Amino acid sequence: MFKGILVNKIDGVYGAALQDIDDTVLGDGDVTVGVEWSTLNYKDGLAITGKSPVVRKFPLVPGIDFAGTVLASTHPKWKAGDKVVLNGWGVGESHSGGLAQTARVKGDWLVALPAAFSTRQAMAVGTAGYTAMLCVMALEKHGVKPADGEVLVTGASGGVGSVAVSLLSKLGYTVVASTGRMEEAAYLQSLGAATVIDRAELSNPGKPLAKERWAAVVDSVGSHTLANACASTKYGGAVAACGLAQGMDFPASVAPFILRGITLHGIDSVMAPLAKREEAWARLAKDLDLAKLDALTSEVALENAVGVAADLLQGKVRGRVVVKL
């Protein structure tokens, strides 16, 4: 038996609670990991609260990522004692995930922990930071350079946004951070934002085509925010879309695409191939300022994770939240 959060639906009643769990809920896999740290992402908040149908089987341990030490393995790549990280692959949705002291997964889902990170730091990065790095890589591969102008980061106070601001600023980009919490302006500037704007400038219905401003955009918000970001992206620019905090809709027109030749890059972290994952983690180890990472990270005990998940959905949590297992 071990401690973990278990999500269940009994007689139509959805609930999540910390309890003793046995390994029958862990599911199939050829690697068993002693989980040392997990984290709370937006999707975890949805899974724990039941605000969206993220969990697809019951009972299930939520948590879309974790870092820890291999306890046992029949997979040729991994042996007991190896330090590993997992992001996505349906873990915490259709396969029990990281918010328990033990996880059992497929070895093909795991990435070796970069030497630059402790397991806690890896979860301070977490899926949010790994997703931010995928966004930055997409913009770079599009050809966006610091000299091209301002890069907008929406949802900047959240997990993806905070890491994106830190990464982009260290790489030399001029970052404009959009947030619904202007009281966090000093925090965002400490991460490297040159300018902080109120999300209200972007979150309401706008024009199909607006004045050109952004060389590129990292968007974790969706809906009208994403539409307005596209409408004000410069000719030939790029937008990396990875989230839906405002909504799943995209109330936009084709004008920015056919009149300004902008590109919308969809960023998926869940099923990204191994080579891209390894590249992203290698880049994070090289390009992420660990002092800034520490500044944007808070820690909660496992017994408090359910309550913090609800706060996260209400926009009361800034940066990254790590959970000690």
Whether 187 and 244 share a structural domain: yes
* Coil, strand or helix at 46: helix
What band does 190 get if pLDDT is binned at 50, 70 and 90?
very high
User: Does residue 19 form part of some domain?
Assistant: yes
Residue 37 or residue 53, greater confidence: 37
Specify whether 19 is located in the same domain as 85: yes
Same domain for 169 and 75, yes or no, is no
- Cβ–Cβ < 8 Å for 193, 169: yes
- Verify that 11 and 88 share a domain, yes or no: yes
Q: Please write the tens of the pLDDT for every residue from 15-29.
A: 999 999 999 999 999
Percent pLDDT > 70 in the chain is 100
- Domain co-membership, 167 together with 68: no
pLDDT band at 153 (very low <50, low <70, confident <90, very high): very high
| pLDDT (0 to 100) of residue 316 | 86
What pLDDT does 244 receive?
Answer: 93
Query: Is residue 286 very low, low, confident or very high in pLDDT (cuts 50, 70, 90)?
Result: very high
Residue 291 is inside which H or E element, if any? helix 290-295
pLDDT of res. 113: 98
Mean pLDDT of the chain: 96
With respect to residue 285, please indicate whether it lies within any of the assigned structural domains: no
The domain of 155 spans 128-266
At 53 the pLDDT is 87
Residue 284, pLDDT > 90, answer: yes
Residues 158-180 have pLDDT tens digits of 989 999 999 999 999 999 999 99
DSSP string, 75-117: STT--TT-EEEEE-TTBTTTB--SSBSEEEE-GGGEEEPPTT-
Q: What integer pLDDT is reported at residue 319 of this predicted model?
A: 86
Condensed to tens digits (0 to 9), the pLDDT of residues 302-323 reads 999 999 999 998 888 888 999 9
pLDDT tens sequence across 137-150: 999 999 999 999 99
Strands in 214-219's sheet, in edge-to-edge order, are 195-198, 174-179, 150-153, 214-219, 233-241, 263-266
Question: 218 and 160 in contact (C-beta within 8 Å)?
Answer: yes
* CATH number reported for the structural domain that contains residue 198 in this entry: 3.40.50.720
Note whether residue 277 is domain-resident: no
Distance in angstroms (rounded) separating the CA atoms of residues 323 and 289: 21
Q: Are 31 and 107 in contact (CB under 8 A)?
A: yes
Q: Domain for residue 39, yes or no?
A: yes
Q: What is the pLDDT of residue 317?
A: 86
Q: The tokens of 162 are what?
A: 């905070």
Query: Looking at the domain assignment, is residue 251 inside a domain?
Result: yes
Mean pLDDT calculated for residue range 243-261: 96
Q: Are residues 254 and 146 in the same domain?
A: yes
Q: Is the pLDDT of residue 52 over 90?
A: no
Query: What is the reported pLDDT for 254?
Result: 98
From 226, 251, 266, give the residue that closes a domain: 266
CA distance 161 to 319: 8
Is the residue at 118 inside a domain?
Answer: no
Burial level of 205, CB count in 10 A (0-12/13-18/19+)?
Answer: exposed
> Looking at residue 216, what is its pLDDT?
98
- Produce one character per residue of 73-107: b if its CB has 16 or more CB atoms within 10 Å, e if not: bebeebeeebbbbbbbbebbbebbbbbbbbbbbbb
- Asked if 317 and 262 sit in the same domain, the reply is no
pTM, entire model: 0.93
Number of domains in the chain: 2
Pair 132, 241 in one domain: yes
In DSSP notation, 245-264 reads SSBS-----SHHHHHS--EE
- The enclosing domain of 92 has a CATH number of 3.90.180.10
On whether residue 163 sits in a domain, the answer given is yes
User: Please, what is the angle between helix 274-287 and helix 119-142, to 10°?
Assistant: 100
For residue 106, tell me if it sits in a domain.
yes
Task: Give residue 199's pLDDT.
Answer: 97
DSSP 3-state assignment of 209? coil
Tell me the CA end-to-end span of the chain in Å, nearest whole number. 14
Judge if 238 and 298 occupy the same domain: no
